[in-house]
Structure 1
Amino acid sequence: MTLYTVDTLLTLVLLSVLFAFGSSRVPALIKVMAFQGIVVSIIPFFITPHMATGAVIFTIATLVIRGVLIPLSIHLAIRKVAIQRDVAPIVGYHASLFFGLGLIVAAAVISRYLNIPSISDSRLLFPAAISLLVTGMFLLMARRNAIAMVIGYIMLENGIYLMGTTFSVRARHIVEFGILLDVLAGVMIMAVILQNIKQTFDDVDTSLLRTLKE
């Protein structure tokens, strides 16, 4: 039953990856990011039979930061800059969606041939982690909208977290929590920067930064 739950959650994560590739709506991307953050945060509860009290506290704190605080911070940022849609991406949405399909298939095939030790019997844990990693990097490189790039960075970090969960859910909690606090602080700083970009250029297209002069 537990394995079935994990596989179901990871299947939903993979579907959300496809949605992220094909969506141009920034609020929708924020919801996808929040969903992914919640899922990757609760996975340790299902793959670890007995978690220590400290591990439970760290996991819940991670859930709050990934699933609530970071998405809320980005949501408040887009309300200030009044951006609802990512236009003129470097890679089109249809091409992005096909890339996402290929990515999921490739991740599933590659994971079968890699002899990677895992603490879970789920066959989707490693493919989902790889898919999140590559999706985050793709959004960073293939989108012009600064907010979409920030969301890509958070998805990348979610993939790193899920990858770590594949190997262990105990020893890395303090380090991961420290990194997560840095990410939260970075998102808040990004919100201020995005507002300044919007005030200067009346847009959050990062290509406009090339026009800046010393």
Structure 2
Amino acid sequence: MIFNPVDIILSFVLLSVLFSFGADRVQVLIKLVGFQGIVISVIPFFIGEHMTTGGTVFTLATLGIRGIIIPLSIFVAIRRGAIRRMVDPIVGYHASILCGLAVIIGATYISGRLDIGSVSEFKLLAPTAIALLVTGMFLLMARRNAIAMVIGYIMMENGIYLVGSGLSVGTRHIVEFGILLDVLAGVMIMAVILRNIKKTFDDVDTALLRTLKD
């Protein structure tokens, strides 16, 4: 049996998705989202038949931003703000892992029902993209730590990028790079907001924001 290299790589991303559901520390989530950023950034090299010089530069820049700059920016925000490293769950970790399994199985089922010709030869591309999107939304809704919510937002964008990589190999670079710069700017702004939240409440638990008054 001949294994598609793209599917082999994406299987590790799916494994990292499952780990994300059970991660109880912010540093682990940051490393996982950084790993995902690196992996999905190299996917175009495998699915693009004719990578131009410009496309290669954009892809490498994307890899650097997703896999290095964004994770480091979040690490710096945590250190400078002396932010608590534990992730406070709304949904427990064991239940979260079960949700993660359900997400991966559901994503595989849904992608099998979709008829996307351009990604049909890559069996795990659509399931991985869907799993990343749903996992990002789960972190936004099921974690109280503001850093975990930021990571959830980045994970959702990773899923969107992966979908774009499969659907429009030849024309995605400028649009996706623009989106990526928006994400980077969002992370920088969020770092400032998190520092202000930490100064005000001495924590980044989003439940504390309910105490704010007009």
Q: Same fold (TM over 0.5)?
A: yes
Residues 90, 102 of structure 1: alpha-carbon distance in 2 compared, 3 angstrom cutoff: same
**Is 1:47–1:119's contact at 8 Å kept on the other side of the alignment?**
no
**Residue aligning to 1:86:** 87
Residue 111 of structure 1: CA displacement?
1.4
Q: Which amino acid aligns with 1:98?
A: L
User: What are the equivalent positions in structure 2 for 1:1-214 lying under 5 Å apart?
Assistant: 4-82=4-82, 83-87=84-88, 89-119=89-119, 121-214=121-214
Runs of at least 4 residues off by over 4 Å: none
Give the CA RMSD over aligned residues.
1.4
TM-score of the superposed pair, with normalisation by structure 1: 0.96
Residue type of the alignment partner of 2:4 = Y
1:112 deviation in Å?
A: 1.4
Query: How many angstroms does 1:115 deviate by?
Result: 1.0
**Contact persistence 1:198–1:204 (CA under 8 A):** yes
Q: Which amino acid aligns with 2:171?
A: A
The total of aligned residue pairs comes to 213
1:48-75 residue CA offsets vs partner (Å, 9 max, x unmatched): 1221111111111111110011001001
**C-alpha distance 56-155 of structure 1, shift in aligned 2 (>3 A):** same
What's the % identity of the aligned pairs? 68
Letter in 2 for 1:95: A
The answer (yes or no) to whether the contact 2:119–2:126 under 8 Å persists in 1 is no
Q: Which runs of 5+ in 2 are unaligned?
A: none
CA contact (8 A) 2:22 2:97 kept: yes
**Alignment partners' CA distance in 1, 2:213 and 2:163:** 41
Contact 2:132 2:155 in 1 (8 A): yes
Deviation at 1:117, TM superposition (A): 2.1
Which region of structure 1 is more displaced relative to structure 2, 167-176 or 153-162?
Answer: 167-176
CA distance change for structure 1 residues 54 and 78 in 2, over 3 Å: closer, same or farther? same
